[in-house]
A = this chain, B = another copy of it.
Amino acid sequence: MGKIVLVLSVLVFPVLAIAADGDQALITQAKQVLGPLPAAMVSEKNPITPEKVALGKMLFYENRIIADGTISCWKCHPFNLYGADGLRTSVADSCKSVARNAPTVFNAASQIAQHWVGNRTDVEDQAKGGFVVPAAAGMPSADLVKEALGRIRGYGPLFQRAFPADKDPVNADNYGLAVGAFERTLVTPGPFDAFLKGDLAAFSDAQKTGLRMFLEAGCAGCHSSAYVGGQMYQKFGVVEAPWQYTKSKNIDEGRYTITKNESDTYVFKVPVLRNVEMTSPYFQDGSVDSLHTAVWIMGKVQLGKNLTDQQAGDIVVFLKTLTGQIPREALVVPILPPSE
């Protein structure tokens, strides 16, 4: 027995060492462009406090302050569907169509800007804008928002506690700051983060193969950072137009619609790929249901690569390691103050 154990350990040990070396090399390579999620997405402009987060979480669910009473942040970003709504394109106040697919609210706050075309500077601006702009929530002005918030008397003390320096804290700006502070806590670390931090057992061989393929194919050229996206704008269709593959019904001109610069035609913010497995359908118009198909299209039109089924499948295996844990506290439904 003694001899067999000795022989086995001599045989096995170098293999393990090589595997570990390979893993370390993969981690090092991945960390050059990607990274583990932080504990929260902090902002100097809007420091996260427990009072703001608690209020922001309530306001995230609040439908009573918005024009037809059916819209809240939750409407398009329910946590049961990982912060997206499962629709091709979202539905706003009074059943108006929204032009684009709702991106998840998780891991969203550290992007260069918000919305597919970057027309909101940050989550605070998005939250406030989301309901003072008629297109989304149908509220014609910040004054009406203030009035609607003020009618629910239970909010007064909560805004006071969250914004102690303000004399008149119940207003649309502070709505944006509170919701933004809450959203800054919504990070969802998963197996990929564990692996990057050195937990080699967090990844199977198939997942390592998937990560290698993701890096080698060039996906991380745009889908970079801890968020695996959200750090730059890019034309949808660098190599060729995507529309024959996406079968999009309406062709979205992207940032051109807001900048009117020809060079911004079909340009969108590169989306965050965290939890992408859970947020079908895909692309700015939700035109594609399958993640595998979406990966193949991206290879084709962005990188000029005709990925095999195996290669696209490998990348999907890696992308599923980006499905993370929603903070436990964020999953507990807050009770809102009564209407009177």
Q: Interface on A for B, CB 8 Å cutoff?
A: 58, 61-64, 68-70, 74-75, 78-82, 85-87, 91, 94-95, 277-278, 280-281, 289-291, 326, 331-336, 338-340
* Chain B, Cβ-Cβ closest to A91: B70
Instruction: Give the oligomeric copy count.
Output: 2
A299 CA to B85 CA, complexed, in Å: 45
Task: Kindly list chain B residues whose C-beta atoms are within 8 Å of the C-beta of A290.
Answer: 340
A86:B332 contact, CB within 8 angstroms? no
* Chain B, Cβ-Cβ closest to A61: B80
Q: Is the interface of A mostly helix, strand, loop or mixed?
A: loop
In the assembled complex, the CB of A73 is this many whole angstroms from the nearest CB of chain B, namely 12
A78 CA to B73 CA, complexed, in Å: 13
A85 and B68 contact, Cβ closer than 8 Å, known pairs A94-B95, A281-B339, A333-B333: no
Given A80-B334, A80-B335, 16 more contacts at CB 8 Å? Answer: A63-B78, A63-B86, A64-B81, A69-B86, A70-B87, A80-B336, A81-B336, A86-B339, A94-B95, A278-B335, A280-B339, A280-B340, A281-B339, A289-B340, A291-B340, A332-B333
A58 CA to B289 CA, complexed, in Å: 21
A70 CA to B281 CA, complexed, in Å: 15
A280 CA to B339 CA, complexed, in Å: 6
Task: Kindly list chain B residues whose C-beta atoms are within 8 Å of the C-beta of A332.
Answer: 331-333
